[in-house]
């Protein structure tokens, strides 16, 4: 095994050394050889335990950063650039923020000004400067108090943006551009349509398979429903997809309808915003794809 690059090794007893690389603790022996696994006796040392605690914190911090960025996107609300500049020096934060498409917020028309891929953030002379690559491929600096991190459902010409990003070699850690997007039906459903059964009748051999798939993707579980919460147009919309598995997780369950609620009231599909609709369908599509297929187990 090759030695991890750019690593700081911590000396441990008996000539061993430890480091964190690729999200795991690595060890090398007194001869400098990087080992395939950490020896059992080394795992009992104070050095290993301290590094293990650090790794746990780093993983938690990483998850929290990613979750916060997703919240900014799903809330569709302006983010203070002072916050972006403050967290930018943190490599973990930067890994989630770099190359996201951002939009400069104009006082009267959010998103009407500069748009581009975020490459840098700094504070000088009491102003926040954000470095971007704009949609013409030019490097620019914008000065703004707030930015938007737009949901891809709100981006015009999304397919062209994805192609342009590929040409630039953009690799977003957060799936802003590559996030699955679903457009509202055209024509819109009748006003009486409040639920969709496109993803109903998906069979899971055990309810825990359905809930596990939902939770792994970050969706909540409430009273037998998988739930996604979206802030859009000043209101909190809750997409709810029936997956059963509410009482006995070991028994068979079947998926049901997808619906959206605001303040506990079901909303007609035609009245949904593009983000709420897309995120609800994304949730149902993902969970439904894990159903049992005849002759196979759960996918």
Q: What's residue 252's pLDDT?
A: 94
What DSSP line would sit under 108-177, residue for residue?
Answer: SSEEEEEEEEEEEEEEETTEEEEEEEETTS-EEEEE-SEEE---GGG-TTHHHHHHHHHHHT---SS-TT
What average pLDDT values come out for the chain (299 residues) when binned by 10 residues?
Answer: 68 94 92 93 94 95 94 88 96 96 71 81 90 92 92 92 92 93 96 98 95 95 95 93 85 96 96 97 98 70
pLDDT value for 55: 95
Q: What is the pLDDT of residue 110?
A: 47
The per-residue pLDDT for 23 is 87
The whole-number pLDDT of residue 298 equals 60
Q: Rounded to an integer, what distance in angstroms lies between the CA atom of residue 287 and that of residue 281?
A: 10
> What pLDDT score was predicted for residue 4?
60
Q: What is the pLDDT, as a whole number, of residue 40?
A: 94
pTM for this model (two decimals) = 0.82
Instruction: Of 162, 158, 170, 174, give the one whose Cα is nearest residue 96.
Output: 174
Q: What is the pLDDT of residue 111?
A: 45
pLDDT at res. 217 = 94
The per-residue pLDDT for 22 is 85
């Amino acid at each position: 095994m090759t030695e991890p690059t750019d690593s700081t090794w911590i000396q441990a007893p008996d000539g061993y050394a430890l480091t964190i690389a690729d999200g795991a603790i690595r060890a090398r022996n007194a001869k400098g050889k990087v080992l395939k696994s950490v020896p059992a006796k080394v795992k009992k040392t104070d050095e290993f335990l301290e590094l293990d605690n650090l790794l746990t914190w780093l993983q938690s911090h990483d998850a929290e950063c990613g979750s916060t960025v997703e919240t900014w996107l799903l809330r569709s609300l302006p983010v203070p650039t002072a916050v972006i500049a403050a967290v930018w020096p943190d490599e973990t934060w930067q890994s989630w923020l770099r190359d996201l498409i951002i939009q400069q917020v104009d006082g009267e028309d959010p998103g009407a000004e500069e748009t581009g891929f975020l490459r840098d953030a700094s504070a000088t002379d009491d102003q926040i400067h954000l470095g971007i690559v704009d949609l013409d491929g030019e490097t620019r600096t914008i000065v703004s108090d707030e930015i938007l991190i737009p949901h891809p459902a709100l981006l015009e010409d999304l397919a062209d943006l994805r192609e342009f990003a590929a040409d630039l070699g953009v690799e977003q850690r957060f799936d802003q551009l590559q996030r699955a997007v679903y457009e509202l039906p055209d024509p819109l459903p009748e006003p009486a349509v409040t639920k969709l059964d496109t993803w109903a009748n998906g069979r899971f051999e055990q309810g825990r398979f359905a809930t596990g798939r939902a939770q792994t993707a970050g969706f909540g579980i409430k009273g037998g429903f998988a739930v996604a919460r979206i802030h859009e147009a000043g209101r909190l919309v809750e997409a709810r997809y029936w997956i059963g598995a509410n009482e006995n997780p070991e028994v068979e369950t079947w998926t049901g309808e997808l619906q959206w609620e605001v303040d506990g009231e079901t909303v007609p599909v035609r009245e949904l915003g593009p983000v709420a609709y897309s995120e609800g369908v994304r949730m149902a599509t993902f969970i439904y794809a894990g159903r049992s297929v005849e002759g196979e187990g759960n996918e």
